[in-house]
Amino acid sequence: MSPESEADTPGETELPGALSAALRAELVAFRRDLHMHPELGNQEFRTTAAIKERLERAGLKPRVLPVGTGLVCDIGTGTDSGQWAGGPRMLALRADIDALPIPDTKSECPYRSRVPDRAHACGHDVHTTVVLGTGLVLAALHEQGLLPRPVRLVFQPAEEVLPGGAADAIEGGALDGVRRILAVHCDPRVDAGRIGLRVGPITSACDRLEISLDGPGGHTARPHLTTDLVTAAARVVTDVPPLVARRVDSRSGLALTWGRIESGHAPNVIPQHAELAGTVRCLDLDAWRQAPDLVVGAIDEIANLYRAKSEITYVRGVPPVVNEVTSTELLQAAMAARCGTDSVESTEQSLGGEDFSWYLEHVPGAMARLGVRPPGERTVRDLHQGDFDVDEHAITVGVEMFTAAALIDAV
């Protein structure tokens, strides 16, 4: 989408850090380059190198995370190493840099993915460009003596890989010296030029579940001599989700949804093996903590009824992102300062998962939904679809909101 579609909206407060036309164009080009060269989680070597080179050209000292992809970069610390040296605790801005293993299906787009079966279909290229652009603006403000406190940029790998690359970033020191962290996530339901906010949970917990069922098979003429695994698998699929839902408070929104079931090869043979896989999502943090025991117990109960031996792999994913009050208010104030109070809308809690939640286990923070839908467009290009794209005015909005947050952030 063309940056020419953007229209500046006056904010309520005059703050430095508005983007020049030249930087806007550069950031759009940077995002399009990332979009053409998507890389999967923990493979983001080209992406990491591109971010690092641009930050170094701005006189900054980024450091690549120990896992080999992703990086952090401090602005305004007054150190030669680019790392926190015990000064004022920082505001951190986080971006995720990985792509998805799906094909880019945009038919007529000059910057569509050039990598088969890889696409930035979740907007991480936008998140990355927003934080990069913010870093470039804040570096210039720091040189002018206009940055009141140090800021850390966190470019995190592998958000799409459960349990998420946030844990590696944290282990690599991304939160050392940080007192608050902010992030954005593209939202194709919100118009470009606006953001969605809420205090409290804004995403859901998400775990992965894999099940193997085994038992003696046989002829379909004699099911009484077998473990009827097809029926057992079918009952697990249909009975376990409502059984689990009845064992927690219904307000927790605990939902088990299946994505794969495989068993058998012939119509007259009862198989000896069946496999199922799905996800467990939950709106409530306490219920999420109970979920593994509840889900595993329910699966065993149903499998035992059909004399099937069950082997269950429950992979912990991410807890809900829970927006802290002060951090949410900071994002709201920053957006109002740039684009006016009517540019902020309330948003609902999503059933999607986001590993930004792991940062919030350590420091307060908040995530905003960054509007990327062209104003007036009725079609929603949903996340994780091959035709996903954005109105690139959202890049300017995200950068100017983050720079405003850095400037008005209170101790």
Annotated binding site for Mn(2+): 122, 124, 160, 185, 384
Residues in contact with 58: Cβ distance below 8 Å, sequence separation at least 6, in sequence order = 135, 136, 139, 140
Which residue bears the tokens 């030029």? 193
Cβ atoms of 253 and 284 within 8 Å: the answer is: yes
Name 76's Cβ contacts closer than 8 Å, sequence gap at least 6.
138, 142, 147, 149, 150, 151
Pairing relationship of beta strands 63-64 and 71-75 according to DSSP bridges: antiparallel
Alpha-carbon distance 240 to 220, whole Å? 25
**Rounded distance, CA 372 to CA 379, Å?**
12
| Binding site feature residues | 122, 124, 160, 185, 384
| Local structure of 281: helix, strand or coil | strand
Q: What CA–CA distance (Å, rounded) separates 129 from 93?
A: 12
Query: What's at 16, amino acid-wise?
Result: P
| 3-class secondary structure per residue, 80-94 | CCCCCCCCCCEEEEE
Report the distance separating Cα 153 and Cα 72, nearest Å: 5
* Sign of the Cα pseudo-torsion (111, 159, 136, 344, in order): positive
Which tokens in the block code for residue 167?
A: 């844990």
Residue 72, H or E segment: strand 71-75
